Structure 1
């Protein structure tokens, strides 16, 4: 899972990596996604009105990743607590749960949420 963090320009350091394409106010590409920032690049940002940058976050440890996945499972179970997987008339909710689970957990619905796939 690729994560990013939105940082004020003052907190961005050389060597950090852009997580998104950097555009100026007119939509012109200043830097591509994945660009490794240099001191020179950072010094030019204020001239283009750039105040915040989307930076790739450091990778999570396996323990942090497991904790994040568990928090997503818990949140999904709470959000879909009234959904009955056996109710065939509630296909829309089952589909929504499937999409959200796949997006958040990278898996089919049902694994850890109490819903059928």
Structure 2
């Protein structure tokens, strides 16, 4: 069965579990990790994959995803033993404002 393009799905785990079409952006993990930056600001136009990339990072680093190599097998990052050994080994705090669509400050803060 051919892979389906999952439009609007921002969940890396869902896309991988459901075998949806995914453009491998896991090289970003290596680039970001090796940059050594203290702060990273990810700015891209709307609908450009920011939330999906952040979710991918969460799934890769978070200890809640320890032993979930199934999510990364066959992707670029998984070819490197160094990165296989750190997958799922860090506590991660993940915040997303992707669903904050309010038009005023007070309502946005509540959301």
**TM-score (ref. length: structure 2):** 0.26
Structure ID, larger Rg: 1
Larger strand proportion of the pair: 1
Larger helix proportion of the pair: 2
**TM-score (ref. length: structure 1):** 0.25
